[in-house]
Amino acid sequence: MAGRLHVRLREKSPAASERPQHLGDFTLSPRVLLITLLAIPVGAASAVAAFILLRLIGLITNLVFYQRVATGLVAPGAVHHPGWLVLVAPVFGGLIVGLMARYGSEKIRGHGMPEAIEAILIGGSRVAPRVAVLKPVSAAISIGTGGPFGAEGPIIMTGGAVGSILAQGLKLSADERKTLLVAGAAGGMAATFNAPLASVLLAVELLLFEWRPRSLIPVGAAVSISVICRGFLLGTGAIFPVAHVIRPDAGAQLLSLIPGLTGGLLAVGATGLVYLAEDAFARLRFHWMWWPAIGGLIIGIGGLIEPRALGVGYDVINQLLTGQAGLSLILGILIVKTLIWSLSLGSGTSGGVLAPVFMIGGALGALEGTVLPQVFPGFWAMAGLAAVVGGVMRSPLTGVVFTLELTRAWSDLPALLIASVSAYALSALLLKRSVLTEKIARRGLHLTREYTTDPLEALFAHEVMTRNPVELPADLHEATAARDGAVLRDGFGSQPLHPGRPALSGRAVVYADHTLREVANILAHHNVTKALVVHRAAPHRLAGLITLDQLLHARRRDLHEELHRERLLPARRTVKGKRPPSGPSPELADKHPRIP
């Protein structure tokens, strides 16, 4: 037994059922229940915030364009307005937004989602309380004075601020603050569009960066409560209900590729315009506080050409999706709305992107519907909407579900899926980043939205560990064996070493059936590069040793599966009756050795 190591437990070591959960075991825990209970009032508060924002937008629109006190949502261009008013109102609104951003909080600039993502990535999910007030007010001023933006971006930031402020007043982790922030953001989105499932998908695809019970359950609870509250505040019906829906036949479904591919191209062009404008504004020699006013001038000029392009535009979206829009309106929205939205958004004003994308996509589909076979009024506009959302936001599932929940045209699912996924494919092929992640990248951050199984989850500790090590590494020679009271005895008859000695390191012990991901978390938690391995059935005996280098086995296997190509079924014809060799080539095997 020379050099063999043993691990024994102290007599008063807690039973296995009483020990704390091992680091890295992310099963459901009481903390999830706690965060879910906290998410419920956050969802209700976000619904109230969405209601207030919509009413505030209506109030400012009525005051500016109709000179009356009312809070109902109205379109700025529904009636004729003096040309000077259409031109000056957006400039004045942009000037106010610029002043609020400079002397209030710069965080109110932009369309909301990148700011929420940045708060999650580098801000510890902390949002300043004043943002919860300034963001909706600035957005209401921007949209109410004619800005061609949506209310959903500001409500994402406002609802997120509600969740973040509550979390900051409690003793929570950064991940738990993130969950409450996203719960508020998704709740506000759901209340704005009465689209709960799309809001959850948007949260997963754009904000959570994970699909795990610990975050999905609280967000789902917040969204559910928000939609219930919305029923009392704004009603329960679809935002843009489509009547006389029939299931499209196979031909119409295949033709959905047309709005899908053209929607992808439009998404690429619109995204490019946004950042072309942003680069142009960045080259100006005066303070960014004045940029939204210049963006407002662009909006005003566009409003003189097509007044219906101003404002949030829910009435226009409804006309497009129900087949009631004329050709002149379709062309005006497609051209003017795309230009003024893209160019003014680059000025750093306050407003969301979803409603304009809905309108632009609907206009594209409606235009193509004038030459494509008739299915039912609004069908092609729906396909265009789903496509442009999938291409601009790089969220194809969100694009499909949003369209279905907005219209309740459930039988169109196959066609919308074709349109949205094809637009997403083309956008991903032509653009490195989306309109959201490009803004994050320009701030010096890296963000990936490609979700995949962690290769560290595919292997267990016993598959890569060094079994029955004869000698213990120097930095583990005097290590305590575990957090639960185990002590280590070397193989030379020395006395057990107890915890707490100043020079001790390597205090990690893992089970043989821990995944490598759990092992990596435990190593990181203890700030070590090696751990002892024991079996659950016999935790008093050492089974092996695992090191940081051995965790790379999982990555090597993942690379091998991604890069190595081989024929598994033999070809019909072989040379001289011999089968082709199977398995990786010697060259590749050298680069990617097999996993033990």
Q: What is the CATH number of the domain that holds 192?
A: 1.10.3080.10
Closest-CA residue to 431 (of 265, 262, 280, 282) = 265
Looking at the fold, whether 161 and 39 belong to one and the same domain comes out as yes
Smallest Cα–Cα separation from 164: which of 200, 124, 137, 194? Answer: 124
CB neighbour list of residue 222: distance below 8 Å, 6 or more residues apart: 39, 40, 42, 43, 46, 163, 183, 184, 186, 187
Same domain, residue pair 180 and 271:
no
Domain presence at residue 16: no
Report residue 417 CA to chain centroid gap: 19
Q: Give the C-alpha separation, 480 to 201, whole Å.
A: 45
What is the maximal distance between C-alpha atoms in the chain?
97
| Separation CA 181–CA 383 (nearest Å) | 32
Give yes or no: residues 352 and 481 share one domain. no
CA dist 361 and 260 (Å) reads 10
In a domain, 21, yes or no: no
The half-sphere exposure of 584 on its side-chain side, counting CA atoms within 13 A, is 17
Task: Look up residue 389 and give its two tokens.
Answer: 């959302």
* CA 73 vs CA 81, 353, 428: distances in Å: 17, 18, 36
Is residue 464, in this structure, part of any structural domain at all? yes
Task: Determine, yes or no, domain membership for 224.
Answer: yes
SS3 488: strand
Residues 144 and 55 in one domain: yes
In this structure, the answer to whether residues 224 and 285 fall within a common structural domain is no
537: in domain: yes
pLDDT in tens, the chain (596 residues): 334 333 333 333 333 333 334 444 445 678 899 999 999 999 999 999 999 999 999 999 999 999 999 998 888 888 889 999 999 999 999 999 999 999 988 888 876 667 777 777 666 777 788 888 888 899 899 999 999 988 887 888 888 888 888 988 888 888 899 899 999 999 999 999 999 999 999 888 888 878 888 899 999 999 999 999 999 998 888 889 888 788 899 999 999 999 999 999 999 999 889 889 988 998 998 899 999 999 999 999 999 999 999 998 899 999 999 999 999 999 999 999 999 998 888 888 887 788 899 999 999 999 999 999 999 999 999 999 999 999 988 889 999 999 999 999 999 999 999 999 999 999 989 987 777 766 666 766 666 666 677 788 888 999 999 887 765 655 554 443 433 333 333 332 223 323 343 223 446 899 999 999 999 999 988 888 899 999 888 888 888 999 988 888 888 888 888 888 888 887 666 555 555 555 444 444 444 444 44
Judge whether 3 lies within some domain. Answer: no
For tokens 């190595």, the residue is 564
**Whether 429 and 457 share a structural domain:** no
How far is Cα 325 from Cα 354, in angstroms, rounded to an integer?
20
Residue with tokens 């010697």: 586
Return the percent helix, strand and coil in the chain, to nearest 5: 60, 5, 35
Q: Name the domain boundary from 441, 462, 486.
A: 441
Total domain count, the chain:
3
Neighbours of 284 (CB within 10 A): 12
Looking at the structure, tell me whether residues 431 and 508 fall in a common domain. Answer: no
Cα 34 to Cα 24: distance, rounded to the nearest angstrom:
19
Q: Are residues 425 and 496 in the same domain?
A: no
Domain boundary among 233, 263, 288: 233
Tell whether 369 and 227 lie within a shared domain.
no
pLDDT value of residue 305: 94
Cβ(182)–Cβ(163) below 8 Å: yes
Q: Alpha-carbon distance 318 to 204, whole Å? A: 27
- On whether both 211 and 327 belong to a single domain, the answer is no
Q: How far apart are CA 490 and CA 509, in angstroms?
A: 16
Same structural domain, 483 and 414: no
- Residue 529's CATH number: 3.10.580.10
* The two structure tokens encoding residue 515: 């995944």
Helix (H) or strand (E) holding 114: helix 113-121
Return d(Cα 498, Cα 488) in angstroms, integer: 8
Same domain, 148 and 193: yes
DSSP 8-class letter at 180:
H
Sequence-separated (6 or more) residues with CB below 8 Å from residue 580: 567, 570, 571, 574
Q: Quick one: pLDDT at residue 557?
A: 86
How far from chain centre, in Å, is Cα 418?
22
Helix H or strand E encompassing 531: strand 530-534
Got the DSSP string for 192-260?
Answer: HHT-HHHHHHHIIIIII----HHHHHHHHHHHHHHHHHHHHHT-SS-SS---S-----HHHHHHTHHHH
Start-end of H helices in 378-488: 379-392, 396-407, 413-430, 437-441, 461-464
Domain that holds residue 502: 452-596
What is the number of other CB atoms lying within 10 angstroms of the CB of residue 549?
10
